[in-house]
């Protein structure tokens, strides 16, 4: 017995209630169940400092669709959630909070600061998780993890020790990104490259012992010349071959530096001569290594000039720049200054321009670790959707540099390295050693640095399942299946998870990476605080409901492509929800009319079989689309079916049967309505979980929740090709009648006789059997079906279809001149179609290259247009005689 739905669909009244029900019933929880296949997705852990934005909403909606789909298919579907400690972001938040209370970080011990940091995490760290729940995210919250929880921290220590003992982790001096404001190294992921207007300063470097001869270089950062140790030219550049090996006099500093040959130099760019500052440029650093050059660091950690800068010591980097340019001008060595727009790296947190600097840091050697990650993609064990992103992945791996993993922060995983205060011996161990293994001293101090946040999140697919312990979850749910993420973090996170997973477990952490684009504003701009164009997903949920937001984010969405957010599209999604709600209410109000009756296939009409066949094909198509991660295509098919085929056509078709007390097929109609509605709701559920659950649970009592019900499967016995053809033929006729009436502004209340003429007996039979639909859908007062038009009034208006001509004696309603005008337009349209079709079939290139089925389809179109043209011309001829 079905219950009654509220008159009006109100998402605010159902969403929170249903989510609590799902949580209470533990529907999201996945268990190790050997009788089922596992399906696992790990949630990209949002930062505990995070506030839900549209990117999160899209990313998590896509994951939720996949996990709900697989859960309904009978998998033990685990969506593993958790949050990331977000080292720099969190430390900045904690420092700001302390500052507002009059406390400076510098006044605290590390232990005191960490106490405040953990308090902040407890107070604010769960905010984004609660926001994700508002979206309907069906993650297994019982298994929620945190990158600094006990288990994940144990995994981090284990991996660090393993890599160190294998020689893959080392401490050394290399070029890194340094933030002068935050006073820490930062990862490439935290560097934002901004296009800024700047200058190229062209400077002459005198050649030693050759008065009047100079080498002209151009630089965007004149202050770094204080650390130059060479000038490089291309080995094949004839202009400078005689200079290679000679010495130059570095202006202002008066240090002798060599001219070196290196293929890094672009002969065609600038003067073909490049100043080399190995301590302050990543490319120069590599040139310096190849050419055996010194590294001279000229900056303090706060970006002021250090003692290597001579008289500029203590000056801010930009102050020094101005002073150096002025001195070069006075020395006559400044050739020119040219405007130049270039990319400048800034720290995404504090917006400070970063400085590449050579510093003593901890690194992971990447040359060997990258190889199996490359092979994983090339072998096909790992794939990207879309495939094109595999090229991005390979390009980064094939050009990878050693990874700087140390950060000068307090919040995070502290590096497990200990130093003897007496002799300086270093020991890497999970716990602090009691005595120095070299000198026996008992005073050992731990390294002050913490690990890059990406180090722990690289272990996420297996650390969350209990690794390094041999847990049942690790054995069952790993490797995971699909990783869903934006294209902006392929390098920083995806690649690190792949090489970490292979190195530690011997297996790729997932087989598919599903890439999505960015959610942009309606003008196509990236949403940002600076532009003030960000849209809060929770505001959308508050106004229109989570289902409407989810549908909007997936409609038209193709893997890898950016999408634009329009409020109008959210309203359209809400309107669709209203349509589903109202149609369901109508069906449920009629169910009692056949409560004790069972439909039998023999009682199914052609309309019933048509809609069953349609929903059957839909099930097959949607399943195939979801298996290929074509989430947007699948949703569009479900939308089109429910709105058009089911609501606009089938429900209208069966109304006369529902309202009749004598129609023997009423029970079949009601059974079909309920059956198709349930199937449609199940196909829609992964996209719109709340409304589908509310309707489903009120519609039937056999199953307690749609989210644990069985996913529909294709049924060969529901394949009714003949009935599909019949109903589609009638639909085409009805559309033609409606179009004609609309073009003549005939209101639906004006009924008219409909006369269907077709020479084909099988077509006439279709219309004879479908008479009832013309009354309901075509506003017909009566229907006549015949083989010829004998006896039809000359002034009858016609609607031409591919298989029949429909006449309506509308003489008293119709302006004949308007009817002729309409037919002339139709004739003009058909002439264009005929010209196009004939042009294609007469084109030798098309006929010789196109697939046979495409050529055949075009021939069928041509025959159809020729037949329609003949009928239009005949009708025009008749009207002209009037």
Binding-site residue numbers for ATP are 529
Contacts of 208 (CB under 8 A, 6+ apart): 246, 247, 248, 249, 256
By DSSP bridging, strand 426-428 and strand 417-420 are antiparallel
3-state secondary structure of 439: coil
Contacts of 106 (CB under 8 A, 6+ apart): none
Q: Mark residue 209 as left, alpha or beta (left: phi above 0; alpha: psi -120 to 50; beta: remaining).
A: left
Tell me the torsion sign for CA atoms 178, 181, 187, 191. Answer: negative
- Residues forming beta bridges with residue 805, ordered by sequence position: 757, 800
Q: How far is it, in rounded angstroms, from Cα 872 to Cα 881?
A: 15
Contacts of 355 (CB under 8 A, 6+ apart): 177, 178, 180, 280, 299, 303, 317
- Residues forming beta bridges with residue 564, ordered by sequence position: 520
Q: Which two tokens stand for residue 709?
A: 């019900």
3-state secondary structure of 493: helix
Residue-wise burial string across 23-44, b where 16 or more C-beta atoms lie within 10 A, e elsewhere: eeeebbebeeeeeeebbbbbbb
- How many Å separate Cα 304 from the centre of its chain? 42
Q: Which two tokens stand for residue 638?
A: 């479900």
By DSSP bridging, strand 805-808 and strand 797-800 are antiparallel
Annotation: binding site: 529
Strands (E), 180-323: 184-186, 191-206, 214-219, 230-233, 247-250, 255-261, 273-276
- Cα angle 353, 356, 357 (rounded to 5 degrees) comes to 125
Q: Edge-to-edge strands of the sheet including 191-206?
A: 214-219, 191-206, 334-347
Q: How far is it, in rounded angstroms, from Cα 802 to Cα 862?
A: 11
Tell me the torsion sign for CA atoms 127, 132, 135, 139. Answer: negative
**Distance linking the first and last C-alpha atoms of the chain:** 61
State the DSSP string of 118-164: HHHHHHHTTHHHHHHHHTT----GGG-EETTSHHHHHHHHHHHHHHH
- Sole residue written with tokens 């229109």: 544
- Residues forming beta bridges with residue 483, ordered by sequence position: 513
């Amino acid at each position: 017995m079905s219950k009654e739905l509220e008159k009006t669909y109100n998402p605010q009244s159902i969403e929170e209630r249903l989510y609590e029900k799902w949580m209470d019933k533990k529907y999201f929880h996945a268990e190790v169940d050997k009788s089922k296949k596992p399906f696992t997705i790990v949630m990209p852990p949002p930062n505990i400092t995070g506030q839900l934005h549209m990117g999160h909403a899209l990313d998590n909606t896509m994951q939720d669709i996949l996990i709900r789909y697989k859960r309904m298919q009978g998998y033990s579907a685990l969506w593993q959630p958790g949050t990331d400690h977000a080292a720099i972001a969190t430390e900045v938040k904690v420092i700001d909070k302390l500052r507002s209370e009059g406390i400076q970080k510098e006044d605290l011990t590390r232990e005191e600061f960490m106490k405040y940091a953990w308090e902040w995490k407890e107070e604010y760290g769960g905010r984004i998780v609660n926001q994700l729940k508002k979206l309907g995210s069906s993650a297994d919250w019982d298994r929620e993890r945190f990158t600094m929880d006990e288990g994940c921290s144990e995994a981090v220590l284990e991996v660090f020790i393993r890599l160190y003992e294998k020689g893959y982790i080392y401490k050394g001096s290399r070029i890194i990104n340094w933030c002068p404001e935050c006073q820490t190294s930062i990862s490439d992921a935290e560097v934002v490259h901004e296009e800024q207007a700047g200058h190229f300063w062209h400077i002459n470097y005198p050649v030693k012992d050759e008065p009047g001869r100079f080498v002209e270089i151009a630089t965007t950062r004149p202050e770094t010349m204080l650390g130059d140790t060479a000038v490089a030219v291309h080995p094949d550049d004839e202009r400078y071959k005689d200079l290679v090996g000679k010495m130059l006099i570095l202006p202002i500093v008066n240090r002798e530096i060599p001219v070196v040959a290196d293929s890094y130099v672009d002969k065609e760019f600038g003067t073909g001569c490049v100043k080399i500052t190995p301590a302050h440029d990543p490319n120069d650093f590599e040139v310096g290594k190849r050419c055996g050059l010194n590294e001279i660091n000229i900056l303090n950690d706060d970006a002021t000039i250090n003692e290597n800068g001579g008289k500029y010591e203590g000056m801010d980097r930009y102050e020094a720049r101005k002073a150096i340019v002025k001195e070069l001008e006075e020395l006559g060595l400044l050739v020119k200054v040219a405007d130049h727009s270039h990319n400048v790296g800034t720290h995404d947190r504090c917006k400070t321009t970063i400085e590449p600097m050579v510093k003593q840091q901890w690194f992971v050697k990447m040359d060997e670790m990258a190889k199996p990650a490359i092979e994983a993609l090339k072998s096909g064990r790992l794939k990207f959707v879309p495939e094109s992103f595999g090229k991005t992945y390979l390009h980064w791996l094939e050009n990878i540099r050693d990874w700087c993993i140390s950060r000068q922060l307090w919040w995070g995983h502290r590096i497990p390295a200990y130093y003897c205060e007496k002799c300086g011996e270093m020991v890497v161990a999970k716990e602090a050693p009691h005595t120095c293994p070299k000198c026996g001293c008992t005073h050992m101090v731990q390294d002050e640095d913490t690990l890059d946040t990406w180090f722990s999140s690289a272990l996420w697919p297996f650390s969350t399942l209990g690794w390094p312990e041999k847990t049942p979850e690790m054995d069952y749910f790993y490797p995971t299946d699909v990783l869903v993420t934006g294209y902006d973090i392929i390098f920083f996170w995806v690649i690190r998870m792949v090489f970490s997973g292979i190195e530690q477990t011997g297996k790729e952490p997932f087989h598919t990476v599903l890439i999505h684009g960015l959610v942009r504003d309606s003008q196509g701009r990236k949403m940002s605080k600076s532009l003030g164009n960000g849209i809060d997903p929770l505001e959308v949920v508050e106004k229109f409901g989570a289902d409407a937001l989810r549908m909007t984010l997936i409609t038209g969405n193709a893997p890898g492509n950016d999408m634009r957010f329009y409020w109008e599209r959210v309203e359209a999604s809400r309107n669709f929800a209203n349509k589903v709600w109202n149609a369901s209410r109508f069906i449920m109000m009629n169910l009692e009319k056949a409560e004790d009756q069972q439909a039998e296939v023999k009682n199914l009409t052609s309309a019933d079989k048509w809609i069953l066949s349609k929903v059957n094909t839909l099930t097959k198509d949607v399943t195939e689309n979801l298996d290929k991660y074509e989430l947007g295509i699948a949703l569009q098919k479900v939308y089109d079916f429910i709105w058009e085929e089911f609501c606009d056509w089938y429900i209208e078709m069966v109304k006369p049967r529902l309202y009749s007390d004598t129609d023997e097929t009423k029970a079949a109609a009601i059974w079909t309505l309920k059956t198709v509605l349930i199937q449609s709701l199940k196909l829609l559920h992964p996209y719109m979980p709340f409304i589908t659950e509310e309707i489903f649970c009120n519609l039937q009592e056999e199953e307690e929740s749609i989210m644990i019900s069985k996913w529909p499967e294709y049924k060969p016995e529901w394949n009714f090709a003949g009935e599909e053809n019949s109903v589609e033929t009638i639909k085409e006729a009805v559309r033609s009648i409606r179009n004609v009436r609309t073009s003549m502004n005939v209101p639906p209340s004006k009924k008219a006789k409909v006369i269907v003429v077709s020479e084909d007996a099988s077509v006439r039979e279709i219309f004879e059997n479908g008479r009832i639909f013309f009354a309901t859908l075509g506003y017909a007062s009566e229907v006549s079906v015949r083989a010829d038009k004998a006896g039809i009034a000359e002034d009858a208006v016609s609607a031409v279809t591919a298989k029949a001509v429909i006449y309506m004696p509308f003489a008293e309603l119709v302006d004949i001149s308007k009817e002729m005008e309409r037919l002339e337009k139709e004739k003009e349209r058909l002439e264009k179609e005929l010209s196009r079709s004939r042009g294609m079939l007469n084109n030798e290139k098309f006929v010789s290259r196109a697939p046979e089925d495409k050529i055949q389809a075009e021939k069928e179109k041509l025959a159809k247009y020729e037949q329609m043209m003949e009928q239009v011309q005949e009708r025009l001829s008749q009207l002209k005689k009037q």
